[in-house]
C-alpha cells in the first residue's frame, strides 16, 4: 500500500535511527523517568546560586533605591534596559519556530519547537524583571494597569510607547504560555499513561488536564494550534517593533530612527536562534537526543543565523549612511563621534558589536562550518555577546554625550548590584530551563510521531519504491489507501 504521506528522497531525514512510534516515546520520555544526572544537579545548583545572587541584588536595590545602580541624569537607561531588550529579543526565536514555521509548514520545527518555546517563556520572564524593578517603588507597579481607581480616576497614557510595551510584553507572555502549554497537553498525557510511580501518575494526571487523544480533541487541537500560530506571527513582529518604539519615537539622536522596527525584529530573531543553538547543543548531548535534534536542524538554524545576521549588518550600514546623508548635526555626532570613533570612550563597544554580529556569522556561508558543532556553539555564544553590545551601543552611546557638554557622563560602569541583577536573570532562566528539561518532554512527542512516517530515516527507504513507480500505479494505490 502506498504510504499515506509522501516526501521526496532529496530531503534528509528529520528523525535519524530506525524508530517506530514506541521508540520515539521511550527516547523522549526517558530523561523524565530516569533519575537526574550529576551534570543536571551541578547545572541546577549553579543556576539556583545565580538566582539567589540576583534576589539579593534586587532586594538591596529595593531597600536602598535605584541609586544603587550607577545611573545618572544623563545615562538614565543603562544595563537594566539593555538587558531587558536583550532578553525579549532572545524570546523571539521560540515564537518564530513554533508559529511562523508552522504556518510555512516546515517539518524541521518539530524537533526544536518545544524547547524553543520554553526558552521564549523563560526569556520573557527574565526580560520583564528589568522594567519592573527599575520602577524603584515596585509596590506601585500595578499603576501601569488601566483600571477605575480612586486617584481621579487617573489613567495611564495610552499614547506612550512605554505603556504599549506593558501591553505587548504581557500579551506576548500570556499567548506564548498558552500556545506552549496547549501543545504540551498530549505529551504530558503520554508521560501520565506510562507512569509507574504514584506521584508521577498524579502529577501528570493533573498537568495533562485529562487529555485522551480522541479524534475530536485532535481536530480542535489542530485548529487551535493553527489559529494561535496565526495570531502569534504578527504578535512576535509587533512585540519587538513596540520595544523599538521605546527608542524610535523619542527625539534622542541615535534613537530617532525609522529603521528601528524591522532592524530590531531581525536582531531579535538572530539572537534568539543563537540562544536556541546554545541550549539545544547541550540538551541533545546531555539527554541523548541526537536522533531528533539532528545535524540537519543545526544547519538550518545556522542558515537563519547567517541570514538575520546579514540583515542586521545591512541595517547598521543603512543607519550609518542615513546619519551622514541626513546631515543632521546631532545625529551625525551620535554616529560618527560616539560610535564609529574608536578612540571615543565607548568606541570599542561599537566594533565589538560589528565584529560579533556582522563579520563572525559570515563563517556560516561554508557548509562545513554550519555542520560543525564546536564552531556552532562558539558562534552562538559570540552572537549573543554581540547582540548584548548592540543594545548597549544603541542605549548608552546615544545618551552619554548629549546636547550639553557639561552634563556628559563618560564613565558609566555598572555597580555590583546591576551585575548581580543580570546574573540573577541568568539564574532564573537556567533554573526554569533545568526544571523544564527534567519534568517536561523537551521534544514535542506527538508532533515527531506526526512526521515520523514521512521524514523518519527508516521510512525514507519506502519512498524509493514509490519514486520508482509509474504515475498511474501510484495514483491507483493512493486512491485505494483512502
Least spacing, CB of residue 170 vs other proteins, in Å: 8
- Tell me the three cell numbers of residue 44: 541546577
| 207 near other proteins, judged by CB under 8 A | yes
Q: Which three cell numbers stand for residue 273?
A: 536562534
Which CB sits closer to other proteins, 205 or 262?
Answer: 205
Tell me which of 209, 325, 348, 365 binds other proteins, using CB under 8 A.
Answer: 209
# residues near other proteins by CB under 8 A: 68
Q: Which of 171, 250, 337, 458 contacts other proteins by CB under 8 A?
A: 171
327, containing H or E segment: none
Q: Provide, rounded to whole angstroms, the least separation between the CB of residue 241 and other proteins.
A: 8
Separation in Å, CA 246 to CA 70, 260, 266, 271, 338: 21, 10, 17, 19, 20
Which residues, at least 6 apart from 115, have a Cβ–Cβ distance to it below 8 Å? 276, 279, 280, 283, 436, 437, 442, 443
406 binds other proteins (CB under 8 A): no
Is the sign of the CA dihedral 77, 83, 88, 92 positive or negative? positive
Interface segment toward other proteins; rule CB under 8 A; list 9-17, 163-171, 310-318, 403-411: 163-171
Tell me 372's DSSP state.
-
- In contact, 277 and 305? CB cutoff 8 Å: yes
Task: Kindly indicate which of the ranges 67-75, 115-123, 162-170, 373-381 contains the residues binding other proteins, using the contact rule CB under 8 A.
Answer: 162-170
> Which of these, 274, 299, 268, lies nearest to 367 by C-alpha position?
299
CB nearer to other proteins: give 50 or 448.
Answer: 448
Of 222 and 373, CB closest to other proteins: 222
Q: Which is nearer to other proteins, 75 or 189 (CB)?
A: 189
Segment interacting with other proteins (CB under 8 A) among 36-44, 79-87, 148-156, 319-327: 148-156
The DSSP line for 122-181 is HHHHHHHHHHHHHTSSGGGGGGGS----SSSSPPP-TT-HHHHHHHHHHHHHHHHHHHHH
Q: Which long-range contacts (CB under 8 A, 24 or more apart) does 316-323 make?
A: 316/354, 316/357, 316/358, 318/259, 319/257, 319/259, 319/263, 322/257, 322/259
Q: How far is the CB of 274 from other proteins (least distance, A)?
A: 26
Q: Return the bridge partners of 456, or none.
A: 15
Least distance from other proteins to the Cβ atom of residue 403, Å? 20
**205: helix, coil or strand?**
helix
Task: Show the 3-state SS of 258-288.
Answer: CCHHHHHHHHHHHHHHHHHHHHHHHHHHHCC
Positions 419 through 458 that interact with other proteins (CB under 8 A)? 445-447, 449-450
Could you tell me the smallest distance in angstroms from the CB atom of residue 19 to other proteins? 11
Using the contact rule CB under 8 A, the part of the chain among 60-68, 213-221, 375-383, 462-470 near other proteins is: 213-221
Burial tier of 382 (Cβ tally within 10 Å: 0-12, 13-18, 19+): middle
317 contributes a contact to other proteins by CB under 8 A: no
Residues 241-300 that bind other proteins (CB under 8 A): 242, 245
Burial of 39 (0-12, 13-18, 19+ CB in 10 A): exposed
In angstroms, give the least distance from the CB of 377 to other proteins.
32
Q: Shortest gap between Cβ of 228 and other proteins (angstroms)?
A: 6
219 binds other proteins (CB under 8 A): yes
Q: Which is nearer to other proteins, 150 or 215 (CB)?
A: 215
Interaction of residue 215 with other proteins, rule CB under 8 A? yes
Binding to other proteins (CB under 8 A): which residues in 65-104?
A: none
What whole-number distance in Å separates Cα of residue 255 and Cα of residue 11?
44
Would you count residue 27 as binding other proteins (CB under 8 A)?
no
In angstroms, what is the minimal distance from the CB of 178 to other proteins?
5
Residues 388 and 79: their CA atoms lie apart, in Å, by 10
Binding mask 5-24 for other proteins (x = CB under 8 A): ---------------xxx--
Query: If binding is defined by CB under 8 A, does position 216 make contact with other proteins?
Result: yes
Residues lying near other proteins in the complex (CB under 8 A): 1, 3-4, 20-22, 25, 146, 152-155, 157-159, 161, 163-164, 167-168, 171, 174-175, 178-179, 182, 185-186, 189-190, 192-194, 205-207, 209-224, 227-228, 231-232, 234-235, 238, 242, 245, 445-447, 449-450, 481-482
Amino acid at each position: 500500500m502506498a504510504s499515506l504521506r509522501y516526501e521526496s528522497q532529496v530531503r534528509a531525514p528529520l528523525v535519524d535511527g530506525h524508530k517506530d512510534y514506541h521508540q520515539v516515546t521511550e527516547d523522549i520520555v526517558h530523561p523524565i523517568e530516569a533519575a537526574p544526572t550529576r551534570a543536571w544537579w551541578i547545572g541546577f545548583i549553579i543556576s539556583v546560586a545565580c538566582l539567589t545572587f540576583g534576589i539579593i541584588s534586587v532586594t538591596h536595590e529595593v531597600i536602598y533605591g535605584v541609586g544603587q545602580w550607577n545611573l545618572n541624569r544623563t545615562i538614565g537607561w543603562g544595563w537594566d534596559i539593555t538587558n531587558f531588550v536583550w532578553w525579549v529579543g532572545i524570546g523571539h526565536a521560540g515564537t518564530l519556530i513554533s508559529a511562523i514555521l508552522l504556518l510555512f509548514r516546515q517539518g524541521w520545527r518539530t524537533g526544536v519547537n518545544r524547547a524553543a518555546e520554553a526558552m521564549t517563556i523563560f526569556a520573557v520572564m527574565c526580560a520583564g524583571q528589568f522594567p519592573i524593578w527599575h520602577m524603584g517603588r515596585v509596590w506601585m507597579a500595578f499603576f501601569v494597569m488601566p483600571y477605575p481607581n480612586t486617584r481621579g480616576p487617573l489613567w495611564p497614557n495610552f499614547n506612550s510607547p512605554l505603556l504599549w510595551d506593558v501591553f505587548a510584553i504581557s500579551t506576548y507572555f500570556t499567548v506564548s504560555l498558552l500556545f506552549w502549554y496547549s501543545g504540551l497537553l498530549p505529551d504530558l498525557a503520554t508521560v501520565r499513561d506510562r507512569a509507574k510511580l504514584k506521584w508521577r501518575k498524579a502529577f501528570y494526571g493533573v498537568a495533562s488536564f485529562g487529555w485522551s487523544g480522541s479524534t475530536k480533541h485532535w481536530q480542535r487541537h489542530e485548529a487551535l494550534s493553527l489559529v494561535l500560530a496565526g495570531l502569534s506571527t504578527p504578535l512576535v513582529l509587533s512585540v519587538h517593533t513596540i520595544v523599538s518604539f521605546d527608542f524610535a519615537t523619542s527625539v534622542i539622536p541615535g534613537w530617532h530612527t525609522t529603521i528601528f522596527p524591522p532592524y530590531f525584529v531581525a536582531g531579535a530573531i538572530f539572537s534568539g536562534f543563537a540562544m536556541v543553538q546554545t541550549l539545544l547543543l547541550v540538551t541533545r548531548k546531555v539527554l541523548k537526543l541526537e536522533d531528533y535534534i539532528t545535524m540537519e536542524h543545526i544547519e538550518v538554524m545556522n542558515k537563519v543565523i547567517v541570514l538575520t545576521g546579514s540583515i542586521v549588518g545591512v541595517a547598521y550600514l543603512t543607519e550609518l549612511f542615513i546619519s551622514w546623508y541626513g546631515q543632521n548635526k546631532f545625529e551625525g555626532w551620535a554616529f560618527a563621534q560616539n560610535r564609529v570613533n574608536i578612540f571615543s570612550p565607548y568606541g570599542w563597544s561599537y566594533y565589538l558589536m560589528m565584529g560579533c554580529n556582522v563579520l563572525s556569522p559570515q563563517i556560516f556561508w561554508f557548509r562545513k562550518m554550519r555542520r560543525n558543532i564546536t564552531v556552532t556553539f562558539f558562534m552562538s555564544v559570540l552572537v549573543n555577546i554581540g547582540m548584548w553590545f548592540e543594545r548597549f551601543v544603541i542605549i548608552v552611546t546615544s545618551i552619554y554625550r548629549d546636547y550639553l557638554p557639561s552634563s556628559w557622563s563618560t564613565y558609566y560602569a555598572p555597580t555590583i548590584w546591576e551585575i548581580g541583577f543580570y546574573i540573577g536573570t541568568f539564574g532564573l532562566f537556567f533554573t526554569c530551563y533545568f526544571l523544564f528539561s527534567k519534568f517536561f518532554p523537551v521534544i514535542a512527542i506527538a508532533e515527531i510521531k506526526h512526521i515520523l512516517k514521512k521524514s523518519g530515516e527508516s521510512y525514507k527507504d519506502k519512498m524509493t519504491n514509490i519514486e520508482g513507480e509509474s504515475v498511474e500505479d501510484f495514483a491507483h494505490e493512493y486512491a485505494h489507501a483512502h
